[in-house]
Amino acid sequence: MSLIVKNLCKSFYQGDDKVPVLQSVNAEIKNGEIVAIVGESGSGKSTLLSLLAGLDRADEGQVIVDSFDLSKLDERSLTKFRGENIGIVFQQYHLVSHLTALENVMLPMEILKKDEAQERAHSLLKELGLEHRLHQFPSRMSGGECQRVAIARALAVRPKIILADEPSGNLDVQTGEKVMDTFFNIIKKYQMTTILVTHSEPLAKRCQKVLRLFQGQLLEA
C-alpha cells in the first residue's frame, strides 16, 4: 500500500500566536517501503505521524493511502479505515491495563471480527518471544515486554501500513535493539509499508529511506 503526502500544513496556537509546525510537506512512500523520519525535538515528527494515522486533521493538504484521501473521510469512516489498514506503535505502549497480553493483541482482531483471533494473537506473541507472558497484565510486565505486546497488537490485523512513534524510545539500548530486530523481521516478512519516527541514528539507518523534518519541511536525508 502506497502513501502520498501532498502539501501538508499544520499549525498550532500558543495563545493568539499561530506557530506553524508543518509547512507544505510532500512525500511518497511506496508499497512495502520502510521509511524513517528523523529530526530535532519539536520539529513536528509526531505531528506528521498523527496526521498520517488520521488521528489529527491537517490545516491544508492531503494524505492519500492507495486511492483514499484521509482528509475527505469523516470520523467514523476514518476510524474504520485506520482499524483495517493502519497499525500504530506508541512510545508509551498504551496497552489496556485490565486486559492480559493475549487479550490486548486479540482486541483489534475481535473489533474487526477477524477469525481465529486467539490463535493469531498467540502466534504473534510467540514470534515476539512472549509465549510465557500470554496471561500477564501490563502492570506485571517490563517495558520491553509491553512494547513487544504493543507491536504485536499493531501487527495483529496485518495492516498495510505500520506507523511507529519512537518504538524503542522508552527502552534501554540492548532491549531496544532486540525488540526492533523482531519488529523489522516481521514487517519485512509481511511486506508492510512502515513509517518510523525516531531520534536514533542507528535505527534510522536500518530503514530503506530516511527523511529529515527540518523547519517544517520534509527533506531526503
Partner 1 sequence: MLLKWVVRELLRNWKFSLFFIFNLSLGLSGYVALEGFKTSLQEKMNQNAKAILSADLSISTRREFTSEEISQIDKIVGADTWRSRAYEFFAMLNTQQGSRLVLVRAIDENYPIYGSIEFASKKKVLGSDKKEILLSPSIWIYSELHSQLGLSAGDAVQLGSLKLTVADVVEKDGTQTFRAASIAPRVFINRELLKQSGLIQYGSTFTQSFFFKIADEIVVEKAKSQLLESFKDPGIRIDTSKSAGQESGRQLGYLQDYLGLVAIVALFMSSLGAAYIFRLFLVERMREVAILRSLGMQATTAVSIYVVQVVILGTLSLFPTLIVAGAILPFFSKALNVFIPFDLEPAVSGTAVALALLVGVVGSLVVCLPFLLKIRDLKPIKLFSEEKFSNEIEVSKFWPFLPGVFAFWVLAMTQANSIKIGSVFIIGFFSVLLVLFGSGLVLLNLLKFVRVFQSWVLKYSILGISRRKTSSLAIFISLGLGSLLINILPQLTVSLENEFKTEETSKIPSLFLFDIQDDQVKPMKDFLQLESISSIGFSPMIRARLLRVNGNDFERKLEEGQVFRTREEETEARFRNRGINLSYRDQISDSEVIVAGRPFAGVFNGNTQKHAELSIENKYADRLGIKIGDIIHFDVQGIEISGQVVNLRKVKWTSFQPNFFVMVQDGVLNEAPKTYITALPKLPEVKKNELQRALADKFSNVSIVDVQRTVDEVLKVAKQMNWSLELMAILALFTGYVVMYSIVSSQVRLRRWELNMLKIVGAGFGSITGYIVTEFLVLALGAGLIGSALSILVSYGISYYVFEGSFVWDWFYPLLTALGVCFLSVVVSFLASRRVVRESPLVILQEER
Q: How far is the CB of 27 from partner 1 (least distance, A)?
A: 20
Q: Between residue 112 and residue 131, which ones bind partner 1 under the rule CB under 8 A?
A: 112-113
Q: How far is the CB of 94 from partner 1 (least distance, A)?
A: 6
Burial of 159-170, coded b for 16+ CB within 10 Å and e otherwise, reads bbbbbbbbbbbb
Q: Who's near 138: CB < 8 A, 6+ residues apart?
A: 93, 95, 96, 97, 99, 101, 104, 146, 149
Q: How far is the CB of 220 from partner 1 (least distance, A)?
A: 27
Q: How far is the CB of 172 from partner 1 (least distance, A)?
A: 13
Q: Binder to partner 1 among 1, 9, 64, 107 (CB under 8 A)?
A: 107
Q: Is residue 166 within the footprint of partner 1 (CB under 8 A)? A: no
Q: Is residue 1 within the footprint of partner 1 (CB under 8 A)? A: no
Q: Is residue 98 within the footprint of partner 1 (CB under 8 A)? A: yes
From 108-116, 123-131, 195-203, 206-214, span contacting partner 1 (CB under 8 A): 108-116
From 65-73, 97-105, 174-182, 213-221, span contacting partner 1 (CB under 8 A): 97-105
Please, which residues bridge with residue 161 across strands?
Answer: 86, 193
Q: Is residue 56 within the footprint of partner 1 (CB under 8 A)? A: yes
From 24-32, 86-94, 118-126, 178-186, span contacting partner 1 (CB under 8 A): 86-94
Q: Is residue 83 within the footprint of partner 1 (CB under 8 A)? A: yes
Q: Is residue 108 within the footprint of partner 1 (CB under 8 A)? A: yes
Q: Binder to partner 1 among 29, 157, 162, 210 (CB under 8 A)?
A: 157
Could you write out the DSSP letters of every residue in the chain? --EEEEEEEEEEEETTEEEEEEEEEEEEE-TT-EEEEEE-TTSSHHHHHHHHTTSS--SEEEEEETTEEGGGS-HHHHHHHHHHHEEEE-TT----TTS-HHHHHHHHHHHTT-TTHHHHHHHHHHHTT-GGGTT--GGGS-HHHHHHHHHHHHHTT--SEEEEESTTTTS-HHHHHHHHHHHHHHHHHTT-EEEEE-S-HHHHHTSSEEEEEETTEEEE-
Q: Which residues bind partner 1 (CB under 8 A)?
A: 50, 53, 55-56, 75-76, 79-80, 82-84, 88, 90, 92, 94, 96-99, 103, 107-108, 110-113, 139, 143, 146, 153, 157, 170
